[in-house]
Every structure is written in structure tokens, then in C-alpha cells.
């Protein structure tokens, strides 16, 4: 078992707090916590870092989802159709994680990130509506279900930016505003985290003691992030989304060209 010094615990607890805030605002908390886990505990296997991050994230994301759902109240009936699919597909993605090379996945995600950023930047009205979601019927129902399945599988395999992709999916397919999409994304992201965590746990990759301590910090950060979202509104989410596109694009490009 990897041992941590007091300083290492302090760094990771602060990192989990920051990751919870980032994840609640727009998604991408793993970009903060996973590199910290690997840096502070260099003897930790990558799978254990991913699994321990999932343990912290499932609690933080769930707490943010609860706070947002109390205020925004998107369709609960609609969400009930997405949750089982998200759990199953994320679990399948986690099982397939060892079969898919990150060096193959990164360029695809970078291109998608750029497409998202360009679309949002040049469509100021996108995500700014006041109405709730459209009924998920006909093609909207199947596109939304298919999109949730794909994003959930991606979260199990790779993960960064899952919340952002879910926000874009719900906003574009259901023609709703960013706030409603953010609330729905947190609920579905909780399910994807749980599905991936279940597979990691069954394979013995979770560092439970560390993960549960980090979960407390992640919940605190997620609550601050959820309040930031509610206070900043649609315009804030738009800016956060574009910021995440830039940060993730730079981060993944660096990994691609430095690590291969």
C-alpha cells in the first residue's frame, strides 16, 4: 500500500476541494485530482488513481446534483430513463478501458472540444432560453438516449469533460437553457461515476480510505460550485464552458505530444 506524508494528504484534500468546485461548475474535476494523485503518490497504479477519483467524485457530483435539482427542477421522469442507461454504459466503458489506448482517444476528444467551443462562441443565443426542456419524443428521445449512452461509456473509458458534453447534449437536443442542462448533467454524471466506480471496486482498484476522505472535501467543493452556478446563471455557465474547452484542449494536446 502506498503511504502518504501529512503534506501529501493536505495537497490531495485541497485538490479534491478544488476538483469538486470545478466539476460542479462545468465538469472536468478529474483533470485536477487525477494528476495530483499520480504526482503525490507516484507508486499508485493509474487504475487506482482513476478509481479513487471516481469514489470522491460520485459523492461530490451527487451533492451538486441534489442542490441544483432543488432549485431548477428539470423533468424527473425524463431523468429516470437516463440513469440506468448511464450506469450500464459507464460500467461497460470501465471494462473496456484497458482495450482502448489514450493516445487514440485524445485526438478525437480534442477535435470534439474545438467543435464545441467554436459552436458556442459563434452562437450567443445557444443555451440562453428561458423555457424548460422540450418533450423527449420521437427523434429527440432516441438521440438523447444514444448521446447519454455514448457519453457514459466515454466517462468509463477516459472521462475528462463528461459534464460539459452532457450539458451540450441536453441543451442542443432538448432546446433548453444551460442551467436546466447543468442540473440534468449532474444527475446523469452521478450515475456514470457510480457505474464506473462499481467496476473499479469489483476489480480491487479503489483506495477506500483515501477516497472517502477526499469525498468529504469533494462534497464541500461541489456545494460551493453549485452555489456559484446558481448565482452566476446562464452567462456564467457559458463562460465556464468556453474556459473548459480551452483548458482541456491545451491539457490533452500536451499529453498527446509529450506522452504519445
SS (H, E, C) the chain: CCCCCHHHHHHHHHHHHHHHHHHHHCCCCHHHHHHHHHHHCCCCCHHHHHHHHHHHHHHHHHHHHHHHHHHHCCCHHHHHHHHHHHHHHHHHHHHHHHHCCHHHHHHHHHHHHHHHHHHHHHCCCCCCCCCCCCCCCHHHHHHHHHHHHHHHHHHHHCCCCHHHHHHHHHHHHHCCCHHHHHHHHHHHHHHHHHHHHHHHHHCCCCCHHHHHHHHHHHHHHHHHHHHHHHHHHHHHHHHHHHHHHHHHHHHHHHHHHHHC
Label residue 233 by pLDDT band (50, 70, 90).
confident
Q: Global pTM?
A: 0.85
Contact 55, 212 (CB under 8 A): yes
For the chain, the structural domain boundaries read 6-259
What is the greatest pairwise CA distance in the chain? 56
Which three cell numbers, joined as nine digits, stand for 234? 446562464
Q: Is the pLDDT confidence value at 99 over 80?
A: no
Q: State how far the Cα of 9 lies from the Cα of 130, in Å rounded to an integer.
A: 43
- Residues 56-79 have a mean pLDDT of 87
Label residue 197 by pLDDT band (50, 70, 90).
very high
Contact 202, 160 (CB under 8 A): no
pLDDT given for residue 72 in this prediction: 84
> Measured on CA atoms in the order 41, 255, 181, 140, is the torsion positive or negative?
negative
Q: What is the chain's mean pLDDT, rounded?
A: 85
pLDDT given for residue 96 in this prediction: 82
Q: Is the pLDDT confidence value at 135 over 60?
A: no
Label residue 137 by pLDDT band (50, 70, 90).
low
Query: Which residue, 164, 129, 183, is CA-closest to 242?
Result: 164
Amino acid at each position: 500500500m502506498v503511504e502518504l506524508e501529512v503534506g501529501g494528504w493536505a495537497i490531495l484534500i485541497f485538490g479534491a476541494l478544488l476538483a469538486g468546485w470545478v466539476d460542479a461548475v462545468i465538469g472536468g474535476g478529474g483533470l485536477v485530482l487525477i494528476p495530483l494523485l499520480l504526482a503525490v503518490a507516484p507508486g499508485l497504479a493509474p487504475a487506482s488513481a482513476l478509481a479513487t477519483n471516481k469514489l470522491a467524485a460520485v459523492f461530490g457530483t451527487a451533492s451538486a446534483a441534489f442542490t441544483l435539482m432543488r432549485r431548477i427542477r428539470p423533468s424527473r421522469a425524463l431523468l429516470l430513463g437516463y440513469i440506468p442507461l448511464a450506469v450500464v454504459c459507464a460500467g461497460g466503458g470501465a471494462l473496456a478501458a484497458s482495450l482502448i489506448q489514450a493516445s487514440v482517444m485524445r485526438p478525437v476528444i480534442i477535435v470534439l472540444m474545438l467543435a464545441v467551443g467554436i459552436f458556442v462562441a459563434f452562437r450567443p443565443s445557444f443555451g440562453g432560453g428561458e423555457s424548460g426542456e422540450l418533450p423527449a419524443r420521437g427523434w429527440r428521445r432516441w438521440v438523447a438516449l444514444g448521446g447519454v449512452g455514448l457519453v457514459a461509456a466515454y466517462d468509463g473509458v477516459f472521462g475528462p469533460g463528461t459534464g460539459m458534453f452532457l450539458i451540450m447534449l441536453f441543451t442542443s437536443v432538448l432546446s433548453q437553457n444551460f442551467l436546466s442542462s447543468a442540473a440534468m448533467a449532474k444527475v446523469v454524471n452521478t450515475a456514470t461515476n457510480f457505474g464506473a466506480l462499481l467496476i473499479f471496486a469489483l476489480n480491487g482498484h479503489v483506495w477506500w480510505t483515501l477516497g472517502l476522505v477526499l469525498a468529504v472535501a469533494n462534497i464541500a467543493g461541489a456545494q460551493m460550485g453549485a452555489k456559484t452556478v446558481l448565482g452566476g446563471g446562464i452567462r456564467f455557465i457559458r463562460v465556464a464552458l468556453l474556459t473548459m474547452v480551452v483548458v482541456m484542449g491545451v491539457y490533452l494536446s500536451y499529453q498527446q505530444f509529450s506522452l504519445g
